[in-house]
Amino acid sequence: MTNINWSQFVNNYANSLTKTNVNNIQNNIVNDAIQIAQMKQPVIAEPYLPNTTAQLSQTTSELAMMNQLQMSEMLKELMSFPKNMEDVLSKLMTNISQNSTQTALMLLTSSINLNSLSAMLQTNSKEGIANLYKMLAQFNEIGLKVNDEQISNLSQIISLVGSSSQNEASSIKMLMLMYLPYLPLNNPEAFKLELSTGGNEGSLNSDDSVKILIATENYGNIQAEVFKTDKDGIKIELISSQTFPVKEFKILMKEESIKYNININIDTAQKEIFNKEKNKTIKTQVFMNTSPGVNPFLLLISNALIKNIHTIDSKENLKEIRKEKLKNGKS
């Protein structure tokens, strides 16, 4: 396996973070969005109620609270983003609709167009704010009450999407976040991403690799590297604690391999030094390192890898909750 100094990687990233003047960016987005909204037809003539909103409407007078997944779905609808990450990546390369296998083959031989990604984030965030205003106006027309806190969260997250278009690292990070709904979009610090200038010295995979460190609640830290192989396939090198269910992880990644009809080889190593006590105060945290010219299919598989590890971690939490309920029921 490639020798990765993860501690240095995380420290370097933390020290290199720079703050963006988000307030000014948000104001610009809102001002532009107001102009867009004013150019539209009156709300009554062109109502905007996303599908998610219709599903959440309990009565004619109130709107149900949204969970994280519903919030993510509504955000995509407001900003006209596809439901699946592969569709976004495909759209950045071509507007032609393709199946999963065709998309995978195209992405595997391409580089992500960061200029197009930044433009998409900026344009769609302005559209999202405009649609949010239209939706609120429509709520008022039909007498539907909304939760101010949730509307405020929607507005803030849409503004963050727009502000992320200002640099390459933020653009890639926001793309990943939008398709990892379990990570609160309004708490992007749970996901840290660093752009490197190249691969590790002596590494055969060079720039075409993504390095990932995930802090889990039940299995400690998990390290992974995802890279292309010479045979147009994907290889994953994963190091975990001895308690991490590697077999279940491989089954989940096999589903990704079948979905895209792409060969994914997985090498795993379980080390005693990774063993840690369960920590209920820890929530999923992701540290990711890649290059600006990273292969878009690697981002897609990395996204799936993070999501699958979180799924396994969450299932373990559910087991603990069930055990606790049974214990309390017997006492």
CB 143, CB 60: distance < 8 Å: yes
CA distances for 309 relative to 32, 238, 246, angstroms: 39, 11, 10
Domains in the chain: boundaries: 15-186, 196-330
In tens digits, the chain (331 residues) has pLDDT values of 545 555 555 455 445 444 444 455 455 555 655 555 555 444 333 567 788 887 777 666 777 778 888 888 889 999 999 989 999 998 887 766 677 788 888 888 888 888 889 999 999 999 999 999 999 888 888 888 888 888 888 899 999 999 998 888 899 999 999 998 777 676 778 888 888 755 444 444 445 789 999 988 889 899 999 998 877 789 999 999 999 999 999 999 999 999 999 999 999 999 887 777 776 666 778 999 988 778 899 999 999 999 999 999 988 878 777 777 776 765 4
Cα Dmax for the chain: 64
Instruction: Give the residue from 174, 190, 230, 210 showing the smallest Cα distance to 299.
Output: 210
Does residue 198 sit in helix, strand or coil?
Answer: coil
Q: Which residues pair with 145 in a beta bridge?
A: 62
Distance CA 19, CA 246 (A): 38
Beta-sheet pairing, 191-195 with 234-240: unpaired
Specify the DSSP class assigned to residue 289.
E
CA atoms within 13 A on the CB side of 55: 10
Does residue 267 sit in helix, strand or coil?
Answer: strand
Distance CA 53, CA 128 (A): 14
Instruction: Give the residue from 252, 41, 31 showing the smallest Cα distance to 162.
Output: 31
